[in-house]
Homo-oligomer: A and B are copies of this chain.
Amino acid sequence: MASSLRLALLSLFILFFSFHSVSGLLTLPHPLDPLSKEEITLVQTLVLKKYPNSTHTLSFHYVGLDDPDKATVLKWESTKPHTVNISRRAFVIALVDTAIHELSIDLKLHSILSDNVHTGNGFPTLTIDEQTDAIELPLKYSPFIESVQKRGLNISNVVCSAFTIGWYGQEKSKRGLRVECFMKEESVNIYVRPINGILILVDLDQMKIVFYRDVSKEPVPSEDNIEYRASHMEPPFGPKQYSYGTFQPEGPGFKLDGHSISWANWKFHIGYDERAGVTISLASIYDLDMHKSRKVLYRGYISELFVPYQDPTEEWYYKTFFDAGEFGFGQSMVSLEPLRDCPPNAQFFDAYYAGRDGTPQYLANAFCVFEQYGNIMWRHTESGIPNEEIREVRTEVSLIVRSVVTVGNYDNIIDWEFKPSGSIKLGIALSGMLEIKAVEYEHKDEIKEDQHGTLVSANSIGVYHDHYYIYHLDLDIDGEENSFVKTDMKTVKVTDGSSKRKSYWTIDSNTVKTESDARIRLGTSPSELVVVNPNKKTNAGNDVGYRLIPSPAAHPLLVEDDYPQVRGAFTNYNVWVTPYNRTEKWAGGLYVDQSRGEDTLAVWTKKNRDIVNKDLVLWYVVGIHHVPCQEDFPVMPLLSIGLELRPTNFFERNPVLRTLSPKHVKWPTTCSSKQN
């Protein structure tokens, strides 16, 4: 009786909610729109209905859009008004008791379409809540309290943090986290004040400490000069930066329609996913000569971020983080600060992701969009024509989509910059804190053995590590069927006396046939990497294409069969090309926590599929080997790196030849100042 009453109430609730939700859906979301607050609540309701809390332990590890088939989205997009009926589904990874469930949920029909249990290796992305629970455990764990007391520290000043543990060849894995603790006294800069020498392993299913060892007792680094909050510093401040004002008298140059944006000659959709962060979809550019919009990028996002530290000792060896798969790159996005993270003319966008219990979590100012002024777009001064003075300069306005992902200590600033010339610049910048290992040394001369890092301050080693970001770039260059052309530059020796030169270079362009041939380690030989549409030619007969202008390349330094490298095998090459496959989203695999490298880009490409005239995905690895230096301490000035996707025979000619510079408006006379 009680149970059937509950069921009746629940049905009533769902009915009510459905109405609300349906009316929400009447606003016709874009098929790639992130799940709304209401949709996340609907997912929560439906899954809770199937696995009620009364009988199950349920936690949501991923709730996101189960994006429709690409063909369906493209059909929807090409039909205007958008009357194509399109299903709207959520993909959910939930732990039900200790089983990993993958659910597909129809958000229109309010029904669970499928519910499969993952039985392979690897675990889902951690929830923020379980990390919060785990880091509380030591504070009530008497051996830890003893260790803290033994060091003369005050337990009330201890803050802990959770770290994924990787996989090192063991046969059986359980969901777990390492916990490390830090001193938080006057300064909030916890990462530079580790209480080293204590090993804590938490079993996440039992949510308890299952391994504890106090192995050594390095001093906690001092808190002198580590504070970064201006409000907690005494003057003097400096150097002074002078004030400024900016204004867009006509307003911004972009128009928004939900998550879709049109700006200058570009149109695209900005999505959000709790794992990927910001996603850019359906980017197309208007061709003034052809009088039509032409496709460039179906979808782009950072698929994974691999950060292996390089200290093999018991306290550090496991630190080989996968920030997207383990911690959720979108879930780790932080609220942006107006006027600081983004300039005054920025517009901000909010986002929702699902908490552990499925409740929508609000993230204000999740990303921003703004126009950037002041670069030169193109110019020429012509001094070679008698009696004519010619100078033409065009100033550029570009559009930037910015988000910041802070996974613990590091802040990743992720920019997508669109230029009217057709270029897309992908910018990554690092700030935040180093992970510090406490040591007894105060001076480099005392160090006799490799400490696996730089002594960045007394008792503080900034441990060597890498940052590898891999972009998933589903390019659709003027249509879906594309090929990947590698244009090598090669020296030709002149030996027949036909030229006064002994040599020159020319190009050797080849369409890359298969995935294995498309794996490229950059830096060994000069080449241009171009994704072309072999079915479209310019009037002069060139394949229309976009080329990749890479950042300086970094190659992995771990041996290929080392466990972290097997898991992060997508870093073995800088460039990969695959045929589009809806399931191949995450370069490190769907289940990255304690993964074994069975579901990575490196494995998928072993099929060595044909990539000629297919729907292609370009994968690009941006890598930084990070040898810390003292300037990175106690907070790191931005280190920026970037790449460019640049039209290459995509247009018949410079597409901004007819673009005028933006007008500059003079600062008005203020009313307080004397008129005339």
Please give me the residue from chain B that is nearest to A229 by CB atom. B392
Out of B239, B408, B421, name the residue touching A264 (CB < 8 Å): B239
A180: min CB distance to chain B, Å: 11
Q: Mark A30-65, 1 if CB is under 8 A from B, else 0.
A: 000000000000000000000000000000000000
Give the residue name and chain of the B residue nearest to A345 (CB).
Answer: B244
Contacts A340-B395, A432-B379, A502-B562 given; indicate if A664 touches B540 (C-beta within 8 A). no
A557 pairs with B501, CB closer than 8 A: no
Q: How far is the CA of A286 from the CA of B512 in the complex (A)?
A: 53
Within the assembled complex, what's the spacing in Å between the Cα atoms of A627 and B504?
A: 13
Asked if B558 and A503 make an inter-chain contact with CB atoms under 8 angstroms apart, the answer reads yes
Query: Known: A230-B660, A489-B627, A654-B634. Contact between A252 and B242, CB under 8 A?
Result: yes
A378 to B633: give the CA distance in the assembly, Å: 11
Quick check: B669 and A393 within 8 Å, CB to CB? no
- Near B by CB (< 8 A), chain A positions 586-632 give 625, 627, 629-632
A406 proximity list for chain B (CB < 8 A): 380-381, 383
A386 contacts partner chain B, Cβ-Cβ < 8 Å: yes
Q: Are A265 and B239 within 8 A (Cβ)?
A: yes
Which residue of A311, A386, A637 has the most chain B CB atoms within 10 A of its CB atom? Answer: A637
Write out the residue numbers on chain B whose beta carbons fall within 8 Å of the beta carbon of A238: 265, 288, 658-659
* Bound-state Cα–Cα, A635 to B394, Å: 11
**Residue among A505, A507, A528, A555 with max Cβ neighbours from chain B (10 Å):** A505
> Which of A314, A445, A489, A666 has its CB near the most chain B CB atoms (within 10 A)?
A489
Contacts of A381 in B (CB 8 A): 334-335, 404, 406, 411
The 8 Å CB contact of A444, one of B340, B343, B541, is B541
**A241 contacts B253, CB within 8 Å?**
yes
- In the complex, A247 has a CB within 8 A of chain B: yes
Query: Per DSSP, are chain A's interface residues mostly helix, strand or loop, or mixed?
Result: loop
Q: Are B248 and A247 in contact (CB under 8 A)?
A: no
Chain B residues with Cβ under 8 A from A243's Cβ?
248-250, 662-665
A491 contacts B558, C-beta separation under 8 Å: yes
A140: Cβ under 8 A from any B Cβ:
no
Shortest CB–CB separation between residue A613 and chain B, in angstroms?
18
Q: Any chain B CB within 8 A of the CB of A482?
A: no
Instruction: Report Cα–Cα, A195/B629, bound state, in Å.
Output: 57
Near B by CB (< 8 A), chain A positions 413-435 give: 413, 419-423, 429, 431-433
Contacts of A562 in B (CB 8 A): 501-503
Listed A/B pairs (28) with beta-carbon separation below 8 Å: A188-B390, A229-B392, A241-B264, A241-B397, A241-B661, A242-B248, A243-B664, A244-B345, A245-B248, A246-B667, A247-B667, A337-B391, A341-B379, A378-B635, A379-B432, A443-B539, A444-B541, A452-B506, A456-B540, A464-B505, A464-B506, A629-B649, A631-B650, A635-B654, A636-B654, A639-B646, A668-B671, A670-B671
Shortest C-beta distance, A366 to chain B (Å), equals 12
Question: How far is B340's CA from A661's CA once the two chains are assembled, in angstroms?
Answer: 8
A552 to B675: give the CA distance in the assembly, Å.
55
Q: Which residues of B contact A311 (CB under 8 A)?
A: 504
Which of A18-26, A68-76, A91-99, A367-375 binds B? A367-375
Of B502, B549, B565, B655, the contact of A561 (CB 8 Å cutoff): B502
A28 close to chain B: CB less than 8 A:
no
Tell whether, in the assembled complex, residue A159 and residue B384 are in contact, meaning their CB atoms are under 8 Å apart: yes
Does A313 count as interface, using CB distance less than 8 angstroms? yes
Chain B residue contacts of A345, Cβ below 8 A: 244
Do A630 and B542 touch (CB < 8 A)?
yes
Q: Could you tell me if B371 and A372 are in contact, using CB atoms closer than 8 angstroms?
A: no
Question: Is there a chain B Cβ closer than 8 Å to A15's Cβ?
Answer: no
Q: A658-B237, A670-B669 are in contact. Are A647 and B631 (CB under 8 A)?
A: yes
B423 engages A637 (CB within 8 Å): yes
Q: Given A505-B310, A667-B247, A667-B668, does the pair A386, B159 have CB atoms closer than 8 Å?
A: yes
Q: Closest 7 interchain pairs by CB?
A: A444-B541, A523-B523, A312-B499, A245-B665, A242-B253, A340-B393, A243-B663
A536-589 contacts to B (CB < 8 Å): 537-542, 547, 549-555, 557-559, 561-565
Q: Closest B residue to A419 by CB, please name it.
A: B637
Selected from B500, B507, B653, the residue in CB contact (under 8 A) with A169 is B500
> Are A286 and B239 in contact (CB-based, < 8 A)?
yes
Given A540-B442, A540-B630, also A668-B665 (CB < 8 A): no
Is A377 at the interface (CB under 8 A from chain B)? yes
In Å, the complex CA distance between A559 and B406 comes to 49
Alpha-carbon distance A422/B629, docked complex (angstroms): 13
Tell whether A376 pairs with B638 under 8 Å between CB atoms, given A264-B241, A384-B190, A650-B631: yes
Q: Contacts of A503 on B, CB cut-off 8 Å?
A: 557-559, 562, 565
Q: A432-B379, A500-B169, A632-B654 are in contact. Are A384 and B161 (CB under 8 A)?
A: yes
Residues of chain B within 8 A of A314, CB atoms compared = 499
A199 on the interface (CB 8 Å rule)? no
**How far does the Cβ of A155 sit from chain B's closest Cβ, in whole Å?**
14
B-contacting residues, A181-213, CB 8 Å: 184, 188, 190
Expressed in whole angstroms, the minimum distance between the Cβ of A341 and any Cβ of chain B is: 5
**B244 contacts A665, C-beta separation under 8 Å:** yes
**Which chain B residue has the least Cβ–Cβ distance from A384?**
B161
The residue among A161, A490, A539 with the most chain B CB atoms within 10 A of its own CB is: A539
